[in-house]
Amino acid sequence: MYYRDIEKGTKVTYDEFILDHSLKSEVLNSIKNMYNLIRQEVNKRFGIGENRLSEVIWELAKRKIIKSELIQEYSDVLEAIEKIDMIDDFTIYTMLVRILEDLEELYFSVIKFKTD
């Protein structure tokens, strides 16, 4: 799904990433879509996250949905995603693996958490 599209950006050089506008667009759209998917799941399952995920990270940790030691990691990545259209290509490219891994881990933490 979105994971594979984001991963495509990690398999090319920086020059290829910035020159292939279609690839770059696909990667950025997939990052935004995966972020929105997680936000929707957080809202649906826990009734939080209507706005920005970076604002509810502490609540997710408090509820033990995510590990507290990952709060800063997630916050950094989520804040970058929330302003991704204003970030330069080099920064985005250098963060792709981190974005990919953090979004994947956050997604599975949210969907695997048991709610009663």
**Phi and psi dihedrals of 20, rounded to 5?**
-90, 90
Q: What is the pLDDT at residue 115?
A: 67
Residues of the chain with pLDDT > 90, as a percent, come to 85
Q: Domain of 68?
A: 2-112
Q: Chain-centre distance of CA 112, in angstroms?
A: 17
pTM of the model: 0.92
Give the number of domains in the chain: 1
* Rounded Cα–Cα distance for residues 1 and 67 (Å): 25
Q: Supply the mean pLDDT for the chain.
A: 93
Judge whether residue 105 has pLDDT over 80: yes
Judge whether residue 116 has pLDDT over 60: no
Instruction: Count CA within 13 A, CB hemisphere, residue 11.
Output: 8
Q: What is the pLDDT at residue 54?
A: 86
* Rounded Cα–Cα distance for residues 48 and 29 (Å): 23
Helices (runs of H) and strands (runs of E) counted in the chain = 6, 0
Judge whether residue 51 has pLDDT over 80: no
